[in-house]
Amino acid sequence: MTIPFDLDETLMRQMKARPSILIVDDQSLILHSMYQIFREEYEVFIATSGEQALETCEAQLPDLILLDMLMPGMDGHQTFKLLKANELTSNIPIIFITANQDSEEEARCLDAGAIDVIFKPVNPKVVKAKVHTHTRLKLQTDLLRKFAWVDGLTGLANRRHFDEALEKEWRQCQRKQQDLSLIFMDVDFFKRYNDFYGHQLGDTCLQAIANVMAKIVKRPSDIVARYGGEEFVCLLPETPIEAAYAIAQEFERGVRQLAIANVTSDVIRPEHAIPEKIITISQGVISRVPQANDNATEFVNMADQLLYLAKSSGRARIVAASS
């Protein structure tokens, strides 16, 4: 993957998909007027209480939140603190809406961590300008973060992205008591391949394998990453061992179908008597429902051990286990 150097051009392409905003206010008149202001350019979600805002925000993950300061029950400040304490929603920028127009109130909102303040009664031109500016900044930040998470050679997620996603999905699956599956992959005899064919063809080989894996994994929550060198990982939240094993089989078939010659390979399939002499992969597959006394590092180590078993028992095969 080549990272585009023209950030503005890339950002404009990204903004063609409508940004999403969540408007939180207990007054129906305000909600209606704000909806009319933004409905043509943005995907608009509405909440009438702090509690509803938390639920909607976690479910929809909007690009920006417009949050009323004064609401019955959970007010804007309490809602703000809970949104910032939640890992899923902590990076979403929040603009406070308030009827109190004195400078102390504005300073109080900004000191609390809001990125801006909108005063009631709402001026449509002012509020549109502020929302446009902050959604653009949010998309730009997301874009830069995405580039920081991408492996420069393959275009897949990099090790840093995988580590962060693993921690997040580990906690999510622990909370929901759902299976989390991990596939650990290694390209068979890749060092020999690199030495024989050269590093340029080695890079091309890794890119081809990455393209196969990226096409197979389709859910937004699933992540395929280059773990390092010729190792890849695939993180599959809320996925039982049977489904993870089926995806590993797809990876195996997809790489075989590339039919990349590797005369240095010693892989012999059980049904053949001679080495295949093509690029193949070995895989370890682990699945478990995370418990309070478990840790994600041990989970990765277990997948790595299963990969080792696959390699030590002949390579070009899958070894799977669940716990």
Q: Which two tokens stand for residue 199?
A: 């590093």
Distance of CA 212 to the CA centre of its chain: 19
Q: Is residue 293 domain-shared with residue 318, that is, in the same domain?
A: yes
Domain interval for residue 133: 7-148
Same-domain pairing of 46 and 113 = yes
Of 127, 148, 169, which closes a domain?
Answer: 148
User: Residues 80-102: pLDDT tens digits?
Assistant: 999 999 888 998 999 999 888 77
Both structure tokens of 258 = 């590339």
Burial 104-136 (b: 16+ CB within 10 A, else e): ebbebbeeeebbbbbbbebeeeebeebbbebbb
Helix residue ranges, H only, 267-312: 296-312
Could you tell me if 14 and 141 lie in one domain?
yes
Same domain? For 106 and 230 the reply is: no
Residues 78, 179 within the same domain: no
| 2 domain residue, yes or no | no
Same-domain status, 178 and 281: yes
96 within some domain: yes
User: 77, exposed or middle or buried, with CB in 10 Å at 0-12, 13-18, 19+?
Assistant: middle
CA atoms of 309 and 284, how far apart (whole Å): 8
Domain boundary among the residues 93, 119, 148 is at 148
Q: What is the pLDDT of residues 206-236, one digit of tens each?
A: 999 999 999 999 888 899 999 999 999 999 9
Number of compact structural domains in the chain = 2
Residues 94 and 71 in one domain: yes
What backbone phi and psi angles, to 5 degrees, belong to 319?
A: -120, 125
Judgement on whether residues 77 and 169 belong to the same structural domain of the protein: no
pLDDT above 70 (res 300): yes
Q: Which backbone phi and psi does 260 adopt, to 5 degrees?
A: -80, 120
DSSP three-state, residue 89: coil
C-alpha distances (whole Å) from 301 to each of 41, 74, 179, 190, 308 are 47, 43, 17, 21, 10
221 and 126 both lie in a single domain: no
Give mean pLDDT, residues 201-207.
96
Which of 93, 127, 148 is where one domain is finished? Answer: 148
Quick check: is 60 in a domain? Answer: yes
The single-letter code of the amino acid at 43 is: E
Closest CA to 56 of 64, 46, 69, 66: 46
Domain CATH code at residue 272: 3.30.70.270
0.85 surpassed by pTM? no
Q: H or E stretch including 284?
A: strand 281-288
For residue 322, the surrounding DSSP H or E stretch is strand 318-322
Q: Are residues 39 and 173 in the same domain?
A: no
181 and 317, same domain (yes or no): yes
Is residue 110, in this structure, part of any structural domain at all? Answer: yes
Lowest mean pLDDT among 9-18, 130-139, 192-201, 296-305: 9-18
Say if 181 falls within a structural domain.
yes
Nearest to 221 by CA among 48, 125, 56, 88: 88
Residue 249 burial class via C-beta count within 10 angstroms: exposed 0-12, middle 13-18, buried 19 and up: middle
pLDDT at 4 over 60: no
Cross-strand pairs, 22: 45, 65
Q: Tell whether 1 is covered by a domain.
A: no
* 135 and 245 assigned to the same domain: no
Asked if residue 137 is part of any domain, the answer here is yes
- pLDDT for 131-177, tens place per residue? 999 998 888 888 877 778 899 899 999 999 999 999 989 998 998 99
List the CATH number of the domain containing 53.
3.40.50.2300
